[in-house]
Chain A
Amino acid sequence: MDGLTFVQTVRKRPQWRGITLMMVTTESEHSQLVRALAAGAHEYLMKPFPPEAFIEKLDILGLNPSGCVA
C-alpha cells in the first residue's frame, strides 16, 4: 500500500477525520504527493530534512504540544 492509497483509505473513515496526516517524501514522488494532498493529507516534508524543518511543520499544523522551537 503506497502513501496515496493510505491517505485515501484513512480519509474514507468518518471516525478518523480528526487525524492529521503528514507525508514524508522524496523529490521523485512529487506527483503522488500532490495527489495525496488533494486526497486529504495536510502537509509534506521533503527528505532529507533538518530537525528544525520537522518542528516547523508541526508548528504550522498547530501540533507542537511541547512548544519547542526550531
Chain B
Amino acid sequence: MTEHLLPLDWSVEIVATDISPTMLERTRTGTYSQLEVARGLPDAMLLKHFRRVGTQWQVDDHLRSMVTVAPLNLTQPFPARPAFDIVFLRNVLIYFDAPTKARIMRQVRQCLTPGGYMFLGAAETTLGIDDAWERVPLGRFTLNRAPGGPRPPAAPPRGTRRICDDPCQEQVMTPMRALVIDDSRVMRTLLTRHLKTAGFEVLQAEDGQKALDVLESVGVTCPTCAPSTGTCR
C-alpha cells in the first residue's frame, strides 16, 4: 500500500493490536515462515520489504519503524488515540456474537476520521449489524466507509483502469492491455488465450527488442508519467 496507493508526501503510521502478548511480540519482531509469506504476498514485495533470517523472513527495518504494537481487547472501550484513516479488522469478528460485533463496529467508527474505511474479512459484513456504514463496492470487494468526510471518486467500471490523471480533463479510461513476449509461438498463443479470457486486449512480440518497439509505437502512458507525454502530470 505504501508504494502503490498513497500520495508521496504522506507519512504512514501503523498501529497493530492484539489481545495476545505472544502475538504482539511476534508482530514486534516481524518474522514469518516461508509458508506465511507465500500466501498471497507478491514475490517482488517479499524481496523488497523482507530479508531472509535463517529459514524465516523478517520485515525490513524501514517498514517495521512505521509500526507501533499495542495490546487491545476489542470487547472493552478503546483507549483514546488520534483518529485513523483506515482500520483493518479482518477475520476476527467471526468469534463474537451479534451484539458484541455491533459494539465493536461502533467503536471502530468512532476511532476513524469522517469518511475513513474499515476492511473486513471476505465473509464478514456490516449489513444488519451496524448499518451506519456506507458499503462501497470495489472490484470483488466491499469497503465499509464511516459517515461524513469528502465524497470518494467513483470507481472505474469493470474491465477498465484509470491510465491518466489530467487535472483539466475527465479521467481517461481504456481497456487493460497486455504485451506477450516469448520466442515460442506456442507459448505466445497460450498466454494470449489466458489473457483474453481475463479481459485483456493482447499484443505480441517475439523478442525483447521487438517488444520495446511495440511499447514505443503504442505510446504507453501511466498515472504519474513524465512530462514529455503532455497530458499526464
Check if A66 sits within 8 Å of B197, measured CB to CB: yes
Q: Does B161 contact A (CB under 8 A)?
A: yes
Contact between chains at A18 and B44 (CB < 8 Å)? no
- B163 interface residue per 8 A CB criterion: yes
Judge if B22 is at the interface, Cβ distance under 8 Å. no
Please choose the segment from B7-15, B103-111, B220-228 that sits at the chain A interface, where 4 or more of its residues have CB less than 8 A away. B220-228
**Those of B184-200 within 8 Å (CB) of chain A:** 187, 191, 194, 197-200
Q: Which residues from chain B sit less than 8 Å from chain A, CB to CB?
A: 40, 42-44, 47, 139-140, 158-161, 163, 175-176, 181-182, 187, 191, 194, 197-200, 207-209, 211-212, 215, 220-226, 228-229
Nearest chain B CB to A8 CB, angstrom units: 10
A65 in contact with B200 (CB, 8 Å): yes
Q: Do the beta carbons of B208 and A66 come within 8 Å of each other? A: no
Asked whether, in the complex, the Cβ of B44 is within 8 Å of the Cβ of A65, the reply is no
The answer to whether B182 and A1 have CB atoms under 8 Å apart is no
Give the residue among B43, B175, B176 with the most A Cβ atoms within 10 A. B43
Given pairs A6-B208, A66-B158, 6 additional interface contacts (CB within 8 A) = A14-B226, A15-B222, A18-B221, A61-B42, A65-B176, A68-B198
A9-57, CB < 8 A from B: 9-10, 14-19, 24, 34, 37-38, 40-44, 47, 51, 54-55
**B47 engages A65 (CB within 8 Å):** no
Contact count band on A:
35 or more
Residue of B nearest to A44 (CB): B43
Cross-chain contact B209 with A1 (CB below 8 angstroms): yes
A residues sitting closer than 8 Å to B (CB atoms) are 1-3, 5-6, 9-10, 14-19, 24, 34, 37-38, 40-44, 47, 51, 54-55, 58, 60-68
B146 to chain A, nearest CB (A): 24
Residue of A whose beta carbon sits closest to that of B193: A51
Verify B222–A18 contact, CB threshold 8 A: yes
Per the bound structure, the CA–CA distance linking A67 and B161 in Å amounts to 13
